[in-house]
Structure 1
Amino acid sequence: MVKIIGKGGANYVLAFGNDNDDLYRICVRGRSLRENNRSTVDNYHYALEVVKPQLGEFVCRMELVDLPVCDSLRQVLKSKIEVWDATTVTCLKMPNLVPAGSLSHTVDHFTKIHIGERAIVWEFKPKWLSGNDKYCRNCTLNLLRGQTSISYCHAQLLNPGQAGPILKSLFAGLNVPPAFIEDMEAYIAQPCSVLQRLRVAQEQVDASLGPLDQPDTAASPERCLSMTLKDVSCFVSWHKDASPVAVVVDLDMKPAAKSAHWTALQEQLDRFQPQVRH
């Protein structure tokens, strides 16, 4: 039996049978299975050869595997794949980062928490952590999109003294022990934390880029890497008697064809009012 664990615009994440340890990430961006298989291979090499030098040990362990096309795979993928022009489905096999039997809570558009008997996993998309002297890109975009219920951004967690209050507010009403909040606050402040490392990586890549409205950089490989780093997902696993462990996923190369969209959105944000500053 095949179960869909997660759906995105370009990928499905599947589980097979009673195997709770491994998940299989399949590209569904194109209508052709062969095309999607090639994209999966390309994304695998991109993650290891381009993104991993930026994020190091935080990059999730993964391997390429080919699964024979079967009826159950056809069933779960039929709404996305129209042309079955290959006999196997190429997948990224990855560890399941959510504890078996845990209770999952969607906190908001960017944050989930998974509470298990022995571990708590904080899942989040930090988005833009690199600096913008004019306004907060994350919070201003939330207002532009009408997401007014989200009163924080992950960039604020890196400001001294703000992580604790934000985390307490974020997980209020959920069954998380005070030690989880305390340990996460201390972890975020460490130079080796995933948020700190991701911010440094974003800043280093962005330092070589001009404004988004410059045609020579809007679709460059460096711009695509910058956008990949701003759309990753982080999983931070917490155990009571151990240091937090972080893993980063969603490392696909962003298509250069989106450069016009990136430029238009940036221009829209620059005109939008009110812009959020903090």
Structure 2
Amino acid sequence: MEIIGKGNANILIRFPNENDDKNDEYLYRFCIRPFQSLESYNSYTMTNHEFIKRELVPLLGEEYVCSLELVSLPICDDLKRILGPYCKSFITKNMIPASDSIMGLKVLNLKPSRLSMDILQEDHQLKVYVDATGDKIVLEVKPKWLYNPDTLGFCRNCVHNSFKKRENIKYCMASMVKARTHHQVNIMDLFHENTVKCLPEIFIDDLNNYFQNDDNVLKRLYYLQRNLSDKTVSIEKINSDDDVTTGLMILMILRDVTVFISWDKQDGDTDGNHISSHIIDLDLKPRSKWKHWQETERLLSKQSNNNNNNNCILHSNV
């Protein structure tokens, strides 16, 4: 049992000795936000699972949402060892008997380690994985704000990257959706020069065709963000937790998802190479985060003013 992924709010654990030989096909996802009791932790996990199934799967489409199954797991010593540092308030060596269970989410592993994939490129918004043969390539993408409301006045992703001093990001993720007709998608903008040298030409062609298609996953997220942004209360008008509507909650979730875009080279007798997309990180956020959202907007507005209107890596609004 080991942690193979960690974010601000969740960790991914791989369990050993599964019944089948693909013991990394599925992972177990646990929230690491602070909870005061096992009961409140399990209640959140069940509520979160129900929210995703009820609100987000119908919105995004089952074909895009990574499969997730609510599971109840006994709290064995190994699980105590791994979760203990993150759940100190209710998991210690002696506090919870092994007969108790903790709720988690069983999810599909979108980059199984058995494929021995190397990382060609890594920054805050993009990781590029490739296997030894070059027949499978996976993009792990954090699209963030694909739609920028007119009232915002700047490219939110680019200004945020500038604020965080992410100087290695030389692309604008929002440009991948062709949000303006005068701007053509150029997927080569995503990759570093050394990355391009390692990518097969057929992959570049397939990915370019995929992003030109109106049915690609980023375009879907763009339209959903735009529609929700037009209908929900703006962040600056929130004054309490009660002001955070379900619509705003969903919008902020969609601005913080992770997308896996997988390319598989097919044999010559097939109908072409295959690109699939899955969306993860659809978890409920605490309504109290509105304070953080407002403060972030204040800081980015100040950063935008400091940038002298140079508020997009493309030097134009998208």
- Normalised by the length of structure 1, the TM-score is 0.92
Counterpart of 1:257 in structure 2 is 288
- How much has 1:170 moved relative to structure 2? 6.9
Amino acid at match of 1:189: Q
Deviates further, 43-52 or 152-161: 152-161
CA distance in 1 between counterparts of 2:283 and 2:53 reads 10
1:212–1:218 contact (8 Å) kept in structure 2: no
Matches within 5 A, 1:122-201: 122-133=139-150, 134-159=153-178, 160-169=183-192, 172=195, 175-201=198-224
Which blocks of at least 5 consecutive residues in structure 1 are unaligned? Answer: none
- How much has 1:6 moved relative to structure 2? 0.6
Counterpart of 2:86 in structure 1 is 80
- How much has 1:168 moved relative to structure 2? 4.2
CA distance in 2 between counterparts of 1:7 and 1:233 reads 13
Counterpart of 1:93 in structure 2 is 106
Which has more radius of gyration?
A: 2
Deviates further, 258-267 or 26-35: 26-35
Which of 122, 126, 129 is the equivalent residue of 1:111?
A: 126
Deviates further, 214-223 or 247-256: 214-223
Amino acid at match of 1:239: D
CA RMSD of aligned residues (A): 2.0
Which of 61, 64, 68 is the equivalent residue of 2:70?
A: 64
Counterpart of 1:5 in structure 2 is 4
Counterpart of 2:30 in structure 1 is 26
SS class of match (2:249): helix
CA distance in 2 between counterparts of 1:104 and 1:88 reads 36
- How much has 1:105 moved relative to structure 2? 4.2
Q: Give the 3 Å change call, closer, same or farther, for CA 170–187 of structure 1 in structure 2.
A: farther
CA distance in 2 between counterparts of 1:10 and 1:23 reads 16
Which of 224, 248, 270 is the equivalent residue of 2:301?
A: 270
Deviates further, 191-200 or 208-217: 208-217
- How much has 1:218 moved relative to structure 2? 5.7
2:170–2:190 contact (8 Å) kept in structure 1: no
Q: Give the 3 Å change call, closer, same or farther, for CA 97–132 of structure 1 in structure 2.
A: same
- How much has 1:60 moved relative to structure 2? 0.8
Residues 120-160 of structure 1: CA deviation (Å, up to 9, x unaligned): 11111100011333210000011112222212221112234
Residues 215-247 of structure 1: CA deviation (Å, up to 9, x unaligned): 379622211111000000000110123231000
Asked if 1:228 corresponds to 2:253, the answer is yes
Which blocks of at least 5 consecutive residues in structure 2 are unaligned? Answer: 18-22, 267-272
2:149–2:229 contact (8 Å) kept in structure 1: no
Q: How many residues matched?
A: 277
- How much has 1:26 moved relative to structure 2? 0.8
2:233–2:248 contact (8 Å) kept in structure 1: no
Q: Give the 3 Å change call, closer, same or farther, for CA 270–132 of structure 1 in structure 2.
A: same
1:119–1:238 contact (8 Å) kept in structure 2: yes
Residues 189-223 of structure 1: CA deviation (Å, up to 9, x unaligned): 21111001111111111111243211379622211
CA distance in 1 between counterparts of 2:9 and 2:193 reads 29
CA distance in 1 between counterparts of 2:121 and 2:249 reads 29
Amino acid at match of 1:48: K
Counterpart of 2:20 in structure 1 is none
CA distance in 2 between counterparts of 1:105 and 1:75 reads 33
Deviates further, 72-81 or 163-172: 163-172
CA distance in 2 between counterparts of 1:152 and 1:207 reads 26
Asked if 1:214 corresponds to 2:237, the answer is yes
- Normalised by the length of structure 2, the TM-score is 0.81
2:185–2:211 contact (8 Å) kept in structure 1: no
Counterpart of 1:239 in structure 2 is 264
- How much has 1:173 moved relative to structure 2? 5.5
CA distance in 2 between counterparts of 1:203 and 1:233 reads 18
SS class of match (2:173): coil
CA distance in 1 between counterparts of 2:73 and 2:279 reads 24
Amino acid at match of 1:8: G
1:157–1:163 contact (8 Å) kept in structure 2: yes
